[in-house]
A and B are shown apart, each in its own frame.
Chain A
Amino acid sequence: MAETTRSVHSQALHSTVVKKVLMALTGLVLIAFLLMHMFGNLKIFIGQEAYNHYAEWLKMDLLYPFLPKGWFIWIFRAVIAACLVIHVYCAAKLWAVSLHGRGSRYVKKKTRDQSLASKIMRWGGLTLLLLLIFHILMFTTGTITPGFTYALHDPYHMFLGAFSVWWVFAVYLIFMIVVCFHVRHGFWSAFTTLGANVGPTARIVLNVLAYFFAALIFVGFILPPFAVLIGLVP
């Protein structure tokens, strides 16, 4: 037992539960961001002008004249990045605690209620981090440009060019499958951590909502690239 001079309050503040709460709050912000990003992507179906105009508005005009032109996107990026850093930091800390807490492994282990989504939470999260870096290097910085030339003011053609390449689609398909699983357990877990699992009915509602948002995010994100791949978007 650890002898400590820290107050009980301070120990509670540094507990695994508080790290879970931070992961839940930041995770829900990231899910909200995904939904917004997904909705924006769907504008590809309206056409080049609508899509590029939306991108331009997002990067320059949003909240203008409340903020100077182009400021919003950087504040937005900072908030999302901060959420991501907190989320990953707490996940890493909790992973380390769990690796220690589990102790020696069972010769044989059978699970009863554990979902596949919850099993791959941590390695899946790590995969997401790598794919996110790939995604930013592609469309934000233009470092990797398979099938397209980087053009800041024409994201429509960047999108079309990239997803005409089969392996780019395959990478994003994997990306979205892992996101889908991560959201499936993450959504349920976030609300449970925040105390919303108040009874058997709440448990069903939270799980159904988790499946719904996981499916919505998967379908909403994969639809535009899939349409491009099979040539439905001109």
Chain B
Amino acid sequence: MKITLKVWRQANKGSAGSMQTYQLDDVSEDMSFLEMLDMLNEQLTSKNEEPVAFDNDCREGICGMCGVVINGSAHGRYESPVATTTCQLHMRNFSDGDVIEVEPWRAAAFPVIKDLVVDRSALDRIVQAGGYISVNTGSAPEAHSVPAPKRLADRAFDNAVCVGCGACVAACPNGSGMLFTSAKIAHLANLPQGQPERMLRVKAMIAAHDANGFGGCQNIGECAAVCPKQIPLESISALNRDLIHSLFKGDGKTV
């Protein structure tokens, strides 16, 4: 396959970026999207040009490191029925002669570090605000000592699969991190271990979400549409229910 790539090149956080065009011949349809970018970088390196920086790690769709906007769609899913991460997108989804535009996640909370790499530590700061449970360290408790209803455990798991790639933020016209935040909230709120800090958690995580430069949610649904782990939009409703409930509780009233 012959592919024309238009890639966002930006030297560093402060500099202005632009789309650069590259020509790639002999792209195999069995290559993953990242392998195709590897091929581009090999060619650039052999020509003594700066390779394109992009984030990646496991390349199995489970770590959440990779993620670029491909032809205007986060992770390049667009109309495909299959939810995917960028690393699990293969070149057979494209045709010979295609022009493919590749851009980094764009959101105020995700400043570009270089080329296609963005700083997603704002998501970490949301988790640091309350996306955990406080337990004493020591030997692991007996697994069945705290019963969790199957239905709720399943729902918790459906939300726990969020890998924090940031596609929801990238796809949101408001740059909102509400789907990510709601996945963390819904994960812990459905488990017995999450109950003691439930009300404080939702307040603290929403406060951190807003303080880190994310936009507000408009219930549009673009986030859930591109989520590689298919976190449902319902999670945002679950977060809203918890937040409304928490406002009638005293948790977090002292500075």
Interface residues of chain A, those whose CB is within 8 Å of chain B, are: 1-2, 4-13, 15-21, 94, 97-115, 118-119, 121, 185, 188-189, 192-200, 202-203
Contacts and interface: CB of A to CB of B under 8 A. Distances in A.
Contact of B252 (A12, A101, A104, A200): A12
B240 A113 contact: no
Contacts of A5: 255
A21 B240 contact: yes
Given A13-B247, A21-B240, A197-B233, A7 B73 contact: no
Return the 4 tightest CB-CB contacts between A and B, nearest first. Answer: A101-B215, A8-B252, A101-B175, A16-B216
B9 to A, nearest CB: 12
Interface residues of chain B: helix, strand, loop or mixed (majority): mixed
Interface string B81-112: 00000000000000000000101001111100
B236 interface: yes
A12 B243 contact: yes
B237 A114 contact: no
A11 B57 CA distance: 36
A103 B216 contact: no
Contact of A101 (B108, B208, B221): B108
Contacts of B252: 7-9, 12
A110 B73 contact: yes
A68 B161 CA distance: 61
Contacts of A119: 173
B22 to A, nearest CB: 15
Contact of B237 (A110, A185, A197): A197
B197 to A, nearest CB: 12
Contacts, number: 188
A91 B48 CA distance: 51
B203 interface: yes
Nearest to A101: B215
A23 to B, nearest CB: 10
B132 interface: no
A203 B233 contact: yes
Interface of B: 6, 8, 19, 69, 71-73, 77-79, 101, 103, 106-110, 125, 171-176, 200, 202-204, 206-222, 224-226, 232-234, 236-241, 243-244, 246-247, 250-255
Contacts of B107: 101-103
A12 B72 contact: no
Contacts of A99: 215
A189 B247 contact: no
Nearest to A188: B219
Contacts of A19: 216
B234 A203 contact: yes
A112 B222 CA distance: 6
B221 A113 contact: yes
A113 B224 contact: yes
B219 A103 contact: no
B237 A198 contact: yes
Contacts of B106: 102-106
A106 B72 contact: yes
Given A9-B252, A118-B220, A195-B240, A103 B173 contact: no
B216 A108 contact: no
Given A101-B216, A104-B106, A192-B236, 13 more contacts: A1-B208, A6-B255, A11-B203, A15-B206, A17-B217, A97-B215, A98-B173, A102-B107, A102-B175, A107-B101, A188-B219, A192-B237, A200-B234
A185 B224 CA distance: 17
Nearest to A17: B243
Given A17-B206, A101-B176, A199 B234 contact: yes
A4 B101 CA distance: 41
Contact of A118 (B208, B216, B218): B218
Given A94-B216, A103-B108, A103-B110, A110 B234 contact: no
